[in-house]
Amino acid sequence: MLSLRLAIPTVNTLSPPKPKPKSGLVQTASNQTEIFPSRVSVPKRYGYKLQAATTDVANEEISVAGEFSEEEEELPEGLNKELMPKHVAVIMDGNGRWARQRGLPTSAGHEAGVRSLRELVELCCRWGIQVLTVFAFSYENWIRPKVEVDFLLSLFERTLKSELDTTSRGGIRISVIGDSSKLPASLQELIHDVEETTKDNSRLQLIVAVSYSGKYDVVQACRSIAEKAKHGNIQLEDINESLIEQELETNCTEFPYPDLLIRTSGELRVSNFLLWQLAYTELVFVQQLWPDFGKDEFVEALTSYQQRQRRYGGRHS
Amino acid sequence: MQKGGVGEKMLKFLFRVVRFLRKCIFSVLSVGPVPAHIAFIMDGNRRYARQHNLKEGAGHDAGFLALMSIVIYACELGIKYVTVYAFSIDNFRRRPEEVECIMNLMLEKIELMCRKDSIVNRHGVRIHFSGNLELLREPMRDAAKKLMAVTANNSNALLTLCVAYTSTNEIIQAIQKSCEEKWVENQEPRRVGRGPINLLEIEKQMDMAIAPDPDIVVRTSGENRLSNFLLWQSARSYLFSTLALWPDISFWHLVWIVLNFQRNQSRVEKKNKQV
């Protein structure tokens, strides 16, 4: 009501974006290569992004997905290959609500969620995204009813077992981050086996955050550093961003910083997921519940991402 | 002369009416949960200057006025903590002329705020600087310390200015300090080592430990990212992004932000009850 009378934008633009006209993409593509003019020194950790971008643009032979380039699909209309994010993070929210809306038990919602995840993994493989991190189970979720927690953990175990063959054949490397000490021993063992089996796969790295907390990730990195300092391996003055990056749980990947974070179900919060790593991540919040998040919604999120100008604190002009 | 006097009286009357109306709207808002802490990423000053064909510095000037207005509204609504992202460590990479201009402007405004009759002093707002002040030049550093001292006894609200700040830098400094403290603790022969560093020990050492976690993080000018601002503290904050440029932020934006926050809070509480 108030915003109708006054010509001021009051809407929260973090709420689901509307896709902009296609012509905007061409403009963004030409700006993208000028994001880092010589006078701006890029923070060291983003050096790889600049290299990869210029390689893609200049050579067009080294594709992001490496030796699987011949299996890559044409991107849907409206998406630019050079502007695809290397690392996508997803907060898979809304399974419970989805089930309640249909009068189904929560477990049905989580199972539908697994199907959505399977579809997203496939899309990421086909479109050349290198890393996909998903927030499967937060450290804070342990307070949920035991029945639901037990179901979730057993669902995770079943899915890992049943998908192991598919992921191996598909060249997917699986890593699990989070405090695994609270997980049942059988699951811990399975996780270890799966990580070992898939560690040489290189088409897509799927990082599953289970019993994970962004704050505790930083705390465990800090403890690691404190130990090293105690044994004289490092001096306290040497603690810098790159040292912490090496100690965080996302050190299992070459690209620990997500370019894009998608959260489903309309909740506009980060909820203690990957705090350090999200410093410059583009955030996209979608209204759909996780089991309803499919190819169209992913394309919409990617389109929104590709239209953004990332400055990292600097200026374009 | 009389006309001028009448005109001035009319203007004062109008201001009082507007303030009264504002207070009425804030009273209505106060029926729901009022956020204790709002953080702002003040983006869009330069775009504002370009839009209005002004010199670059004028955009930041307008931004400062907007900040003062928001502080007044926050005090009236009863928001105790306001934090703003004034200058990031990443911003040092901009053109030296722009950095110089911003630093000079900040110095000028800090000196303005030191005055007894400044808005912050009249409204009982205490100022705190968060960030790596060692990266600033000495005059700026001294001015910041002076402003903190001058406003130390104000207790209506706390305005934290993040200057030469990034969240990752804040976390690094907190880690260094907590490692040092743990080192000292473990050296003392009579004290038994209290075990590995924990979350609270790190949090205690943060620059932002002076305020509770923000309930809302607002970014102006339409970008949808945190840009290394309060990454730790905003873990559970409600995020709001508006297309309005920072100098255009107004009373209505604040009302709308708080309304959205209240609507979201009731949804979160309902969700927690279901768990």
- Helices (DSSP H) in A170-291: which residue ranges? 185-198, 214-230, 241-247
Q: What is the pTM of this model?
A: 0.85
**pLDDT exceeding 70 applies to what percent of chain A?**
78
Compare CB distances from B231 to A11, A276, A308 and report the shortest one's residue. A276
Compare CB distances from A236 to B179, B186, B244 and report the shortest one's residue. B179
Q: How confident is the model at residue A235 (pLDDT cuts 50, 70, 90)?
A: confident
Half-sphere exposure of B240 (CA within 13 A, CB side): 28
Q: How confident is the model at residue A68 (pLDDT cuts 50, 70, 90)?
A: very low
- Of A197, A124, A215, whose CA–CA distance to A160 is shortest? A197
Whether the predicted pLDDT of A98 surpasses 60:
yes
Of residues B43, B207, B215, B248, which has the active-site annotation? B43
Residue B126 lies in a domain: yes
Residue B19 lies in a domain: no
CB contact under 8 A, B91 and A11: no
Q: How far apart are CA A77 and CA B262, in angstroms?
A: 39
Does B61 qualify as catalytic in the annotation? no
CB contact under 8 A, B171 and A218: yes
- Give chain B positions within 8 Å (CB) of A230: 183, 186
Residue B85 lies in a domain: yes
Q: What are the tens digits of pLDDT across the range B82-114?
A: 999 999 999 999 999 889 999 999 999 999 999
- Give chain B positions within 8 Å (CB) of A240: 172
Q: How confident is the model at residue B149 (pLDDT cuts 50, 70, 90)?
A: very high
**Which residues are B219's β-sheet partners?**
B41, B241
Query: What is the reported pLDDT for A29?
Result: 35
- Give chain B positions within 8 Å (CB) of A269: 236-239
Whether the predicted pLDDT of A7 surpasses 90:
no
Mention every residue, 6+ apart, whose C-beta is less than 8 A from residue A187. Answer: A153, A156, A157
Whether the predicted pLDDT of A270 surpasses 60:
yes
A234 phi/psi in degrees, rounded to 5: -135, 155
Counted domains in chain B: 2
Domain that holds residue B158: 34-165+215-263
What is the average pLDDT across A240-268? Answer: 94
Q: What are the tens digits of pLDDT across the range A39-50?
A: 333 344 443 333
Whether residues B90 and B196 fall in one domain: no
CB contact under 8 A, A143 and B241: no
Mention every residue, 6+ apart, whose C-beta is less than 8 A from residue B37. Answer: B79, B80, B81, B82, B83, B211, B212, B213, B214, B215, B216
Query: What is the reported pLDDT for A315?
Result: 66
Residue B147 lies in a domain: yes
Q: How confident is the model at residue B189 (pLDDT cuts 50, 70, 90)?
A: low
Whether the predicted pLDDT of A238 surpasses 60:
yes
Among A103-112, A225-234, B11-20, B110-119, where is mean pLDDT lowest? Answer: A225-234
User: The tokens 């810098």 sit on which residue?
Assistant: A240
- Rg for chain B, CA atoms, rounded: 21
User: The tokens 């998040």 sit on which residue?
Assistant: A293
Average pLDDT, chain A: 80
**pLDDT exceeding 90 applies to what percent of chain B?**
79
> Which tokens in the block code for residue A20?
């902009």
Whether the predicted pLDDT of B133 surpasses 70:
yes
Q: Kindly report the CA angle at A244 between A241 and A246, in degrees rounded to 5?
A: 110
Whether residues B88 and B181 fall in one domain: no
What is the average pLDDT across A5-9? Answer: 49
Whether residues B175 and B82 fall in one domain: no
> Cα dist. B243→A10, A13, A304, B221, B240 in Å?
7, 7, 15, 4, 10
Whether the predicted pLDDT of B209 surpasses 90:
yes
Residue B129 lies in a domain: yes
Residue B271 lies in a domain: no
Query: What is the reported pLDDT for A272?
Result: 94
What is the average pLDDT across B45-70? Answer: 92
Residue B187 lies in a domain: yes
Among A57-61, B9-13, B193-197, where is mean pLDDT lowest? Answer: A57-61
Compare CB distances from A284 to B176, B224, B252 and report the shortest one's residue. B224
Highest mean pLDDT: which range of A29-33, A156-160, B267-271: A156-160
Whether the predicted pLDDT of A63 surpasses 50:
no
Whether residues B65 and B194 fall in one domain: no
Whether residues B180 and B94 fall in one domain: no
CATH number of the domain at B219, please: 3.40.1180.10
Q: How far apart are CA A265 and CA A30, in angstroms?
A: 33
Whether residues B55 and B184 fall in one domain: no
- Of B156, B163, B171, B222, whose CA–CA distance to B201 is shortest? B171
User: Side chain identity at A138, as an amino acid letter?
Assistant: S
Q: How far apart are CA A9 and CA B244, in angstroms?
A: 6
Q: How confident is the model at residue A60 (pLDDT cuts 50, 70, 90)?
A: very low
CB B220 within 8 A of CB B42: yes
What is the average pLDDT across A183-206? Answer: 92
- Helices (DSSP H) in B83-232: which residue ranges? 96-114, 119-122, 138-150, 167-187, 199-204
Whether residues B127 and B255 fall in one domain: yes
What is the average pLDDT across B11-23? Answer: 92
Residue B109 lies in a domain: yes
- Domains for chain A: give ranges and CATH numbers: 81-213+255-307 (3.40.1180.10)
What is the average pLDDT across B148-153? Answer: 95
Choose between A14 and B162: higher pLDDT.
B162
Whether the predicted pLDDT of A18 surpasses 60:
no
Whether residues B50 and B172 fall in one domain: no
Whether residues B90 and B179 fall in one domain: no
Whether residues B157 and B175 fall in one domain: no
Q: Helices H, strands E: what count in chain A?
A: 10, 6
Q: How far apart are CA B76 and CA A45, in angstroms?
A: 43
- Give chain A positions within 8 Å (CB) of B183: 229-230, 236
Average pLDDT, chain B: 90
ipTM of predicted assembly, 2 dp? 0.89
Whether residues B40 and B153 fall in one domain: yes
Choose between A71 and B22: higher pLDDT.
B22
What is the average pLDDT across A270-286? Answer: 94
CB contact under 8 A, B179 and A271: no
Whether residues B155 and B171 fall in one domain: no
Residue in chain A closest to B86 (alpha carbons) equals A313
Query: What is the reported pLDDT for A274?
Result: 92
